Amino acid sequence: MTRNLLSGICLLLSLTAAAAEFSPDVRPGAGVTEQRLLSDYFAPLADTAMDSEVFVLDSGVPGAVGLMIGGTHGNELAGQVAALLAVENVTAIRGKLVVIPYVNRSAMSMPDSRNAVTRHHRIESRSGERYLPYGDRRTDPADQGVPDPGRYTNPPGYTLENGAESRNLNRTYPGKADGTPTERLAWAVMQLVRAEAIDFALDMHEADTPERKPTGEADYRPGGNRRLAYTLVAHPRGLETAAFALLEMDADTGISMKLEESNSTYRGLSHIEIGDNSPAVSFLSESPNPGQDRWRDDPDVVSDTRYPLTHRAGLHLRLFKHLADAHGDATGKRLEMRGIPEYEELMAGPIGRFLN
């Protein structure tokens, strides 16, 4: 058999291979009043790998409606776990909280193609052994209906339409009803934002840590080139709310974060497009994930001593609370919640103490 024929068969196999389904393990707490699906807001997603679970925590008391989005990128664990912490612990007492823990379920169905971080991470939860999944940055090529490039980087001459980034949910907002599967997913999120009359939304991400490869033993080298971690990006309409939230965040957790305004020349990102295409004010947060540092051989994405998951998930969760408070102060429309673990409580032990 010639090499060409072989690679042709491989390509055919990769195109026809059924994508691996990912079934999220979310264990709702008493505060969840309704479970929905993204396809409830955009029916064509039903029975596809792009559909995903939505959890509603409705106080029944008029107030603000907040949206937490986890799992935009499957390899950014802390955003997903912050969403789990909310669904499994929080009760809304004024207004309504809507949570999507694994918004790109297809990306969660794949192993991490960039740094090959372990697929499942064992924790000890309130009910015993439990595994936190770790996925890939982008939609599974099989679900997108494109050949698998077999590598992380884009081929030369790529465009947003045909390149690997076309499978990146956070490049495809506000989506298209008749677009690619990833564009339809973004469209479904936008439909949810409109239907639920979301007032403010936080899309929770992770980036590589602000640390370079140590040159010797115990040599901590801050100041990597990429400084996305510890950033809150705010839609122009949300800048003031974000600034107040970050002041409270610093006082509450000691975590100092940078504030960045959405740059409207880079389209497709949730923080600009949700705000530009709906009445919602949109934000995007970034925590430091050792699993995204290319120089680490065997990153521990749960228990890293400097960047443990408690710190990173706690960052997003507390930030969401402070955004809710600051938004309430600015507009008079409040989302009030109880059961949010305090940051110090989270940091006092393993993350599983706060998961069902």
Say whether residue 73 binds Zn ion (CB under 5 A).
yes
Question: x/- string (CB under 5 A) for Zn ion, residues 239-278?
Answer: ----------------------------------------
Minimum CB separation from Zn ion for residue 138, in Å? 10
Window contacting Zn ion (CB under 5 A); options: 87-95, 201-209, 294-302, 311-319? 201-209
Cα gap 128→134, rounded to integer Å: 19
Q: Which ranges of the chain does DSSP label H, i.e. alpha helix?
A: 3-16, 77-89, 105-108, 141-144, 181-195, 239-253, 270-276, 309-331, 343-347
Which residue number is nearest to Zn ion in terms of Cβ? 205
Say whether residue 205 binds Zn ion (CB under 5 A).
yes
Minimum CB separation from Zn ion for residue 186, in Å? 14
Window contacting Zn ion (CB under 5 A); options: 20-28, 90-98, 141-149, 202-210? 202-210
User: How far are the Cα atoms of 49, 59, 77, 100, 352 from residue 32, in angstroms, in the given order?
Assistant: 24, 10, 22, 12, 19
Window contacting Zn ion (CB under 5 A); options: 160-168, 181-189, 200-208, 345-353? 200-208
Cα gap 322→31, rounded to integer Å: 19
- The 10 Å Cβ neighbour count of residue 214 is 11
Q: Report the site for Zn ion in 75-114 (rule: CB under 5 A).
A: 76
The identity of residue 111, as a single letter, is P
Minimum CB separation from Zn ion for residue 228, in Å? 9
Minimum CB separation from Zn ion for residue 76, in Å? 5
Cα gap 272→239, rounded to integer Å: 12
Say whether residue 311 binds Zn ion (CB under 5 A).
no
Nearer to Zn ion, 89 or 270 (CB): 270
Minimum CB separation from Zn ion for residue 230, in Å? 14
Q: How far is CA 233 from the centre of its chain?
A: 14
**Pairing of β 34-37 and β 231-234:** unpaired
With CB under 5 A as the rule, give the number of residues binding Zn ion.
3
Binding site for Zn ion (CB under 5 A): 73, 76, 205
